[in-house]
Amino acid sequence: MAKPYVIGIDMGGTNTAFGIVDARGNVIASDSIKTGKHSNFDDYVDELYTEVTRVVESAGATGMINGIGIGAPNGNYYTGMIEGAPNLPWPSPIPLADKISEKFGIPCVVTNDANAAAIGEMTYGAARGMKDFIMITLGTGVGSGIVVGGQMVYGHDGFAGELGHVIMKRNNGRMCGCGRTGCLEAYCSATGVARTAREFLEIRKEDSKLREMNTEDITSKDVFDAAMAGDKLAKEIFDYTGKILGEALADFTAFSAPEAFIIFGGLAKSGDLIMNPIKEAFEKNVLPLWRGKVKILFSEMKEADAAILGASALGWEVKED
């Protein structure tokens, strides 16, 4: 019989957040450490063990942890390794699952952060009961987790689901962090919105609240605030972003015929500003076979705990020996 709690760990380039989660998706205790504090990976694991153990003990959950789930940049579900993550300070590959399992004495499952979000949504959020859906995470980058027949799609090497790096503009596309040009991520991430703002301000002449700012300092939040204040140019930036994402979702539908797309991440806070143009472009571009059939929804996971919840859902996958 499964023990009543799991540990969810969300490893980011700056911070590692962790929490104890029950079967209903309640985070009963959480904390974080600095990811890049230690140049040696074993020292990082030691600090993580110390801090997680402290939280577990203070919550009265000692001996009641079923498993550990970790969402990590370039985390590989098959191998438990982190491979080629550019924002982590340790040499690749990093044997994350083995090191954590050995240190904690608890089984550990690893995947990348977007897949963890998809598993969390299926376990706790808007995708409960769905067997076919695609999670789209709109943050600093664009991530995705693809679920088909109730199973995550990992591919033969564990890295399937990089929809943020589908090329949307073949000619004269923006340079992407992956080294190619024209990727969806370069347009529909939070950083992509800021890039669009700078481009629009350069080529357009109309007044905008955004012109009152240093253009290099503009963020997606600034564009959102301006749009909510009625700024026409800022609204058009969201229209442009949503149109590209809607076109991409229409193409993705032809691949796996999902019941729904779940939109998650910072840009999801933009609400109808981003959702309306997404839906309009999607219905205009999707194959008529699926027109009016595919839902596009915002995530239902609690914002503050979403990363921990997504990772924690993996902890229920482990089996006791």
- Average pLDDT (292-311) is 87
Per-residue pLDDT at 91 exceeds 80:
yes
Domain boundary assignment for the chain: 5-122+304-315, 129-299
C-alpha separations of 287 from 6, 168, 253, 295 in Å: 42, 17, 8, 15
- Average pLDDT (62-81) is 94
Q: Kindly report the CATH class assigned to 129-299.
A: alpha beta
- Report the distance separating Cα 111 and Cα 102, nearest Å: 18
Is the link from the previous residue into 93 a cis peptide, with omega within 30 of 0?
yes
The mean-pLDDT minimum among 69-73, 128-132, 150-154, 314-318 falls in 314-318
Task: Report yes or no: 43 and 61 within 8 Å, Cβ to Cβ.
Answer: no
User: Does residue 194 sit in helix, strand or coil?
Assistant: helix
Pick the CATH number of 5-122+304-315 from 3.30.460.10, 2.60.40.10, 3.30.420.40, 3.20.20.105: 3.30.420.40
User: Using one digit for the tens of pLDDT, what is the confidence trace for 23-46?
Assistant: 888 999 999 999 989 989 999 999
Per-residue pLDDT at 93 exceeds 90:
yes
pTM of the predicted model, to two decimals? 0.87
33 phi and psi, to 5 degrees?
A: -135, 165
- Report the distance separating Cα 48 and Cα 226, nearest Å: 40
